[in-house]
Amino acid sequence: MQARLLLAASMLIALVVYWPGLNGPFVHDDISSFAALQSWLHGKANWQEVLPGNASWLYARPVSMASFMLTAALGGGTPFSYKFGNLAAHLLCGLLAWQVLRRLLARDPRLTARADLIAAILTTLWLLHPLHASTVLYAVQRMAQLAALFALASLWCYLAARQRLDEGRTRAALPLLFLLAPLLFAAAVLSKQNGVVAPALCLALELAYFRGPRPKPLLAFFGVFLALPAAGVATLLAFTPQRLLGGYGEWDFSLGERLLTQARALVDYLGTLLLPYAPRMGLYTDDFATSTGLLSPPSTLLCLLLLAGITLATILLRRRAPSLFAGWMFFLIAHAVESSFLPLEMYYEHRNYLPSIGLLLAVAGLAALVPAAAKEGERQNRLVLAATLGLAAVLAFATLGRALVWRHFDTIVEQALRFHPNSMRAHLDLSTLALFGRRYDESERILNDLAASTTPRDRLLANINLITTQCLRNDSADPDLLKRIEKDAQPELTIFESQSLLQMTNIAGKGCGEISLLDMAGTTETLLAAAHAQPDSVRSKWVTRAIAAQLYARADRWSQAQAQAELAWQPGADLAIGEMLTRIYIHNGRLSDAERTYAQLKQRTKPYDTPGQHNLRELRKSLAQGGPRPPAPQAP
Residue 20 identity (one-letter amino acid): P
One domain for residues 460 and 332: no
Supply the CATH number for residue 541's domain: 1.25.40
Rounded to the nearest 10 degrees, what angle do helices 424-436 and 409-419 cross at? 140
Plot region of 212 (φ>0 → left; ψ -120 to 50 → alpha; else → beta): left
Residue by residue, DSSP assigns 454-469 as SSHHHHHHHHHHHHHH
Q: Within 13 Å of residue 111, how many CA atoms lie on the same side as its CB?
A: 32
Residue 504 identity (one-letter amino acid): M
In a domain, 162, yes or no: yes
Q: What is the pLDDT of residue 373?
A: 47
Of the three residues 405, 435, 455, the one that is the final residue of a domain is 405
Query: For the chain, how many structural domains are there in total?
Result: 3
Identify the domain containing residue 336 by its residue range: 10-34+77-405
Q: What is the pLDDT of residue 51?
A: 76
* Contact predicate 191/59, CB 8 Å: no
Q: What is the pLDDT of residue 565?
A: 96
One domain for residues 239 and 308: yes
One domain for residues 538 and 579: no
In a domain, 60, yes or no: no
User: How far apart (Å, rounded) are the C-alpha atoms in residues 450 and 217?
Assistant: 60
Q: What is the pLDDT of residue 34?
A: 80
Q: What is the pLDDT of residue 204?
A: 97
**Residue 512, strand partner residues:** 515
* 3-state secondary structure labels for all residues of 54-100: CCCHHHCCHHHHHHHHHHHHHHCCCHHHHHHHHHHHHHHHHHHHHHH
Average pLDDT, 10 consecutive residues per value, the chain (636 residues): 90 97 88 78 75 64 91 88 96 98 96 93 97 96 97 98 93 95 97 96 97 91 96 92 86 93 97 93 92 96 98 96 98 96 93 98 93 59 79 96 95 93 93 91 94 94 94 89 95 93 85 89 95 91 95 94 95 91 93 92 86 87 70 53
User: How far apart (Å, rounded) are the C-alpha atoms in residues 210 and 223?
Assistant: 18
In a domain, 363, yes or no: yes
One domain for residues 91 and 195: yes
